[in-house]
A and B are shown apart, each in its own frame.
Chain A
């Protein structure tokens, strides 16, 4: 029970996010209207993705310093969960864009950057699948993971700021910070980020334990 407090926290925070996110009062704004509630679901996906990919990179670095199967498996599972969050982020973003910008895909730099970011990690999966030998696969994909993360950062943080964008927070459009007048949004937004990230970590935890057990089973059989 002592070790599992963060899982309970994740469940509580997510229940809170969903209930409060759907029912609470939000500022009435032109165009955005009720879609501002997407702040609790779309934005935490990106926060969660970055944090989880950071976990993946950290375990890749750990693998290069100390090559154990465990580090490799965690890096791999974290990358997969990061991709899941990225895909969900893109889907929720597209749905939102449909109602506020008028189109699912409107050639926005942030949309393009996130699509490219996903391509990088799909390439990581392809790279992993092209090796047969376990150690070589782990080492080379760890190298690519770190390299790709270093290339992803300028993409996600620098490029959208250099060009005009429809996205809130860019090119003269106010970010959500300008909207959340009485910090009602913040009250739900920060728990949402924490909740979704914890959920991601939970998934990584379960999946990598499962994978480790599977590996051990193969070894003994």
Chain B
């Protein structure tokens, strides 16, 4: 029952996105212009861009992209539609659907961002599949924690500032793990070295999804 609901809601989000193409194209442009700005600011001195800097800048771009993309997930719904959902679906279904949808959106954006970034600024990654895995985990992690935060922030008055303030501290542990894991992938270290980070990331994701699942009904009611 819940599963079906989630599927319907994801489908609805995808169809809406496909019809408007507003959020996706906007975010695409956001990503590419940010990457290009980075290219121009580093381009003058290419020796400045060491591997740790390359890695950190990529993740910071991804972080800001996801904050901006996911902030929309509850703000764009108008009051009437939310009321309509409230009468026909369960809150758990809504939050799970939003998390999955945001994860998909972030995954596409992150992969495009990585390809464009590597194309423009050079690609030092030695273990690409592992790096893509860290991007996948990043997309899932960002979407799980930011979806709940955007739900909280959308209730408040100045929600865009609040979104950043509330989400950055919560997302830092995840970001640190991701940066470490992707650094291992860039250096082409043995895959077993990233195993700790992988498990921790999965564990944090599990905690965050569970907590969101339990707490969202209270948020939804207001």
Contacts and interface: CB of A to CB of B under 8 A. Distances in A.
Contacts of A148: 169-170
Contacts, number: 88
B222 A139 contact: yes
Interface in B186-214: 196-197, 200, 203-204, 207-208, 211-212
B173 A155 contact: yes
Contact of A64 (B156, B200, B208, B218): B218
Nearest to B164: A123
Nearest to B221: A139
A143 B173 contact: no
Contacts of B158: 130
Nearest to B157: A130
A221 interface: no
Contacts of B152: 127, 140, 143-144, 147
A140 B218 CA distance: 8
Contact of B155 (A113, A140, A150, A151): A140
A150 B207 contact: yes
Given A148-B170, A150-B208, A131 B145 contact: no
B159 to A, nearest CB: 9
Contact of A154 (B156, B196, B203): B203
Contact of B219 (A120, A130, A140): A140
B173 A151 contact: yes
Contacts of A217: none
Interface string A146-160: 111011011100110
B148 interface: yes
Interface string B71-94: 000000000000000000000000
Contacts of A131: 155-157
B38 interface: no
Given A126-B162, A130-B157, A131-B157, A155 B172 contact: yes
A116 interface: yes
A159 B176 CA distance: 9
Contacts of A140: 152, 155-156, 219, 222
A143 B82 CA distance: 19
- The dominant DSSP class at the A interface is helix
Interface residues of B, number: 32
Given A147-B148, A147-B211, A154-B207, A127 B166 contact: yes
Contacts of A158: 173, 200, 203
A154 B174 CA distance: 10
B162 A139 contact: no
B172 A116 contact: yes
B83 to A, nearest CB: 16
Contacts of B22: none
Contacts of A116: 169, 172-173
Given A131-B157, A151-B173, A155-B173, A126 B165 contact: yes
Contacts of B219: 139-140, 143
Contact of B162 (A127, A150, A159): A127
A154 B169 contact: no
Contacts of A159: 173, 176-177, 200
Contacts of A130: 156-158, 162
B156 A143 contact: no
A162 interface: yes
Q: Which 9 A-B pairs have the closest CB atoms?
A: A119-B169, A120-B169, A130-B156, A151-B170, A150-B211, A155-B173, A123-B165, A143-B215, A123-B166
27 contacts: A113-B173, A119-B168, A119-B169, A123-B169, A126-B165, A127-B152, A132-B157, A135-B222, A136-B155, A139-B218, A139-B221, A139-B222, A140-B152, A140-B222, A143-B215, A144-B166, A147-B148, A147-B149, A147-B152, A147-B215, A150-B207, A150-B208, A150-B211, A151-B145, A151-B208, A154-B207, A158-B203
